[in-house]
Structure 1
Amino acid sequence: MPMIQVKLTVPLTKEQDLNLHRELTQAVVEIFHKPIDYVMVHVEQEADLWMAGEKLAKGAYVSASLMGELQNEDCDAFTAKVCTLFQQELGIAGPQVYTTFQTINQWGWDGKIL
């Protein structure tokens, strides 16, 4: 049950928002081999992100929470995909994109623990 949370400093058009949700979902399916039926993505626009004491004009933070063991090469591939996507779609350069990964041991869903 992957959850991808994104905070962007920039506004999105409806088309960009839709495309980001679709592309991030597909990246999780392809890179982490998770079933699409369980992938959740949340994108927050115009977030107030700061780094090194300075407000980021164009930046992004991505948090990926997934069940099971994560491989470094998969996290690296996901980070590369996200950086490419944000550069192409939003003009946010790779050095302004920050990603974190969390392994989740248990998810609650439909009234029970998975």
Structure 2
Amino acid sequence: MKQGLLVLIAVCAVAVAMVPRNRRAVDTEEVEDKAENTTRTCAPQTPCFWAIYDQHSKVIQINLTNTYCVCGDGTVCKMIEDDSTTNALVHKCRKPSEGDLLS
């Protein structure tokens, strides 16, 4: 019984030792190469920009641009909603309208 348990532990130890220690789900070099060559277009529901503001004074403290995607042709990044739960003005890609200052 003890010998069987020792053999089982030895087999498990060998199996664990054979697993690579630095495994990655994605090859980072491949991702970097693809990121340089292609740009993703933001979906209509995906924010392209956030303006984080102070809860009390509403003064903008941080501007965050979405680096994952950009607005497509014929669209601009417009302020769509004031998300008071995160104290952020959320901007999304929309078609410019006549009343827009930055169209």
Query: Which interval holds the TM-score relative to the shorter structure?
Result: under 0.3
Q: Under a length normalisation based on structure 2, what TM-score does the superposition of the two structures give?
A: 0.23
Q: Report 1 or 2 for greater relative contact order, CA contacts < 8 Å, sequence distance ≥ 6.
A: 1
* Bigger radius of gyration: 2
Question: If each structure's helix is expressed as a fraction of its own residues, which one has the higher value?
Answer: 1
